[in-house]
Amino acid sequence: MTRRIGIGLATSLLTWGLVSSAMVQADHLSPKHDPWAQPWELERLALLEVPEGMVPVPGGPFLMGSNPKMDRAAGPQELPQRPVSIDAFEIDRYEVTNVHYLRFVIATGAAWPEFWMQDPFLEKMASHPVIGVSWEEAAAYCRWVGKRLPTEAEWEKAARGEDGRMFPWGNEPAGWMKSNIAHSGSKRGFKYPPLANVNRYDKGVSPYGVYQMAGNVSEWVSDWFNPEYYRTSVPDNPTGPAIGELKVFRGGSWNEDPEVARSAGRNGGMPNRRSYLTGMRCAKSEASHQLSAISYQLTKIP
């Protein structure tokens, strides 16, 4: 069934600059019923305040990959560890939430994730990371907000800083106070996952103050996945193989072992893969941010 968004919600989105004046039509997937019959509920959810913001990550070198002498969990796809230099950029402080993705769904008509089971989700899930989005959908969302998916190298530097630490907080194992991650005997497989709000676990932030880069949900990045890419990658601003079949996701999740959530851990999935373990966060090049600021300033010149 196709419905038009409510006038009140369209007005709100116009205020944010999130949708054109033409009313957007949307055909959404709802496993239970058609929540477009209750547009006021969508408006209420879309207007909820949720954690957001970006943090700068300075340019320069860092240690990327794993040293098996220091990290016994290192896999062959993480070798060799070597210095990599990247340009300065910004990255989302928090994972993209259900509310952020709802605004995108309303404005673009994109299908909503299958895990939105009620109207389209309960208010207590507003600050949970969105899950069940494909790489294509994650990339589309980031473009819609004027950003992009981070490269694998950007993601890893934002997660571990310059010193090659195993986790965002250091080299000590993940604990209950630092990460929403599975521990021995704690794996949980519920209909809706036991996710945490994206601004929890402030004891486990990265050196740049980025939250939950280990656990909660794994996160799509822009690169194609090749398990041997590190052996031949360039030392400056690597962007992954030119082609491939799988896209990289990083960071582990609520239902995976701590070893998977190490900052150097990497895995790949088909671009159309949708998982209850995977979400996203976005990045922005410092140059594009500066150009946007200059453009804004020019519009203010009489």
User: Does the residue 257 lie in any domain?
Assistant: yes
182 plus 289 within the same structural domain: yes
Query: How much is the pLDDT for 117?
Result: 74
- How far is the C-alpha of 234 from the C-alpha of 174, rounded, in Å? 31
Tell me how many domains the chain contains.
2
260 plus 240 within the same structural domain: yes
Burial label for 85, CB within 10 Å (0-12, 13-18, 19+), is: middle
Give the CA dihedral 97, 91, 74, 275, nearest 10 degrees.
Answer: 30
User: Does the residue 185 lie in any domain?
Assistant: yes
- How far is the C-alpha of 26 from the C-alpha of 7, rounded, in Å? 14
82 plus 224 within the same structural domain: yes
Output the CA–CA distances (angstroms, integers) from residue 281 to 91, 128, 138, 155, 298, in the order listed: 8, 13, 8, 9, 30
163 plus 228 within the same structural domain: yes
206 plus 267 within the same structural domain: yes
Query: How much is the pLDDT for 189?
Result: 60
AA identity, residue 52: E
User: Does the residue 193 lie in any domain?
Assistant: yes
User: Does the residue 291 lie in any domain?
Assistant: yes
- Which phi and psi angles does 156 have, rounded to 5°? -70, -40
* Size of the chain, expressed as the number of residues it contains: 302
Domain residues for 20?
Answer: 1-47+96-119
**Strand (E) positions, 36-87?**
54-57, 60-64, 82-86
203 plus 173 within the same structural domain: yes
Residue pLDDT, tens place only, 204-226 = 999 999 999 999 999 999 999 99
Query: How much is the pLDDT for 22?
Result: 34
Query: How much is the pLDDT for 7?
Result: 39
35 plus 168 within the same structural domain: no
Across the chain, mean pLDDT equals 85
Query: How much is the pLDDT for 272?
Result: 97
Residue pLDDT, tens place only, 266-296 = 999 999 999 999 999 999 998 654 444 444 3
Query: How much is the pLDDT for 64?
Result: 98
Query: How much is the pLDDT for 191?
Result: 67
- How far is the C-alpha of 221 from the C-alpha of 241, rounded, in Å? 13
86 plus 103 within the same structural domain: no
User: Does the residue 124 lie in any domain?
Assistant: no
155 plus 113 within the same structural domain: no
Residue 283, strand partner residues: 91, 148
Query: How much is the pLDDT for 192?
Result: 76
- Three-state secondary-structure class, residue 267: strand
Model pTM?
0.85
227 plus 89 within the same structural domain: yes
72 plus 177 within the same structural domain: yes
- How far is the C-alpha of 209 from the C-alpha of 205, rounded, in Å? 5
- Output the domain CATH number for residue 86: 3.90.1580.10
139 plus 276 within the same structural domain: yes
* Ranges of the chain with pLDDT below 70: 1-38, 118-119, 183-191, 287-302
